[in-house]
Each structure stands twice: as structure tokens, then as C-alpha cells.
Amino acid sequence: MGYLHYFHHAEPLTDAEWDHVVTGFSKLVSEACADGVALSVSDRESELTVREWMDRDWLREEKHGAVIYINGANGDAMQPLIIHKNGTPYDDRFGPRWHGSTWVKTQRKHYDKLVVAVLAWLAFRYPDRFHVEFDGYPEDWEAGLDLARRAFPDQDIPCPRQDLEDN
């Protein structure tokens, strides 16, 4: 599975699109949990509880609007995956050229499978809104693509384009 995943999402999603993303994310998390992927809704690394799942604690409001937030758990956490309804906020540490761009580092930990599934599905479902790249090779995404395809068996979700030429 991948190590570092880059994605670009600068444009806000409509309410209907966001509802679709939240529903799709919920399906992907259910599939990941069925695969034994331990997930957390914080950086504290304690595993997602049934109450947190039912209450959708992974869906929250932050300064820039609604976000989906998930990380690994039980020693399997690294950097959280954060999807912003209103697009990835501008970070002046990186300058205007990188507006809308971010990354998530998973160190190939077990929750990488969910990160891959979410990013592949978003790039497939919203190709004009989400551009995804990654370190590694397309075969590094096989487990995550398998998870995404099981969650959405009616969709032929491809491996996102890989533009990193040094791999």
C-alpha cells in the first residue's frame, strides 16, 4: 500500500455532493472495519467506538466548514485523512501555487487501505474536483482499490493517475 498520497481539492462541494461524499465515506469505513482496519476519529489513537460510528464523530465542523476526519488506531495512526466540504483551505506556508493541495502520510500502515479507497473513489466520482497522486506504484493501491470496489460493486473504480515520474 502507498506511503504518501497527494490530492488537490480547491473547489467547494455542493450540499448534495457533500451528502453523497458523506454517504460514500460511510460505506467505505464500514467495509474497512469489516476488514479489521482499526480507525480513530482523533489523534489519540483509541479505536472508533460504536457510539462514535453511529454519531458520525468522523464528520465535524471546523473553522473552514464541514470536514471528514479519520486516522488509524491502536498504534496504526500516522497522519489523518481530512476531506473538506469547501475545498482544502489555503495554507500560506506553501503559497498560492499550492492552494487546494494537501497530502496524507500513512507510512503503509493498515489504515492506508481506507485512505487509498477514499481517494480513489473521490477521484473517480468527482474527477473535476479531486486530483490524486501518490508515491509508490499502482500495485501499491491494490488493497485499497479492492476495498473501494467491494463498497461500490456497481462502479469500476480505476487506480488514479500517477504523475510522479521518479517511481
Give how many domains the chain has, as a whole number: 1
* pLDDT at position 118: 95
Quick check: is 119 in a domain?
yes
pLDDT at 19 over 80: yes
Q: Give the domain extent around 132.
A: 4-151
Residue 53 has pLDDT above 70, yes or no: no
**Once rounded to an integer, what is the mean pLDDT over residues 134-156?**
91
Q: Is the dihedral of CA 145, 28, 102, 49 positive or negative?
A: negative
Which single residue is written with the C-alpha cell 479531486? 130
Q: What pLDDT was estimated at residue 16? A: 97
> Is position 143 within any domain?
yes
Judge whether 52 and 36 are in contact, CB under 8 Å.
no
What does the mean pLDDT of the chain come to? 82
Domain-located, residue 166: no
CA 131 – CA 7 distance, rounded (Å):
5
pLDDT value of residue 92: 60
| Residue 25 resides in a domain | yes
pLDDT at residue 164, as a whole number? 38
Q: 5 and 103 in contact (C-beta within 8 Å)? A: yes
Residue 167 pLDDT > 60, yes or no? no
How much is the pLDDT for 55?
Answer: 65
| 90 pLDDT higher than 80 | no
Q: Within a domain: residue 161?
A: no
Q: pLDDT band for 24, please (50, 70, 90 cuts).
A: very high
More confident residue, 75 or 101: 75
pLDDT at 22 over 90: yes
Half-sphere exposure for 143 (CA within 13 Å, toward CB): 15
Residue 160 lies in a domain: no
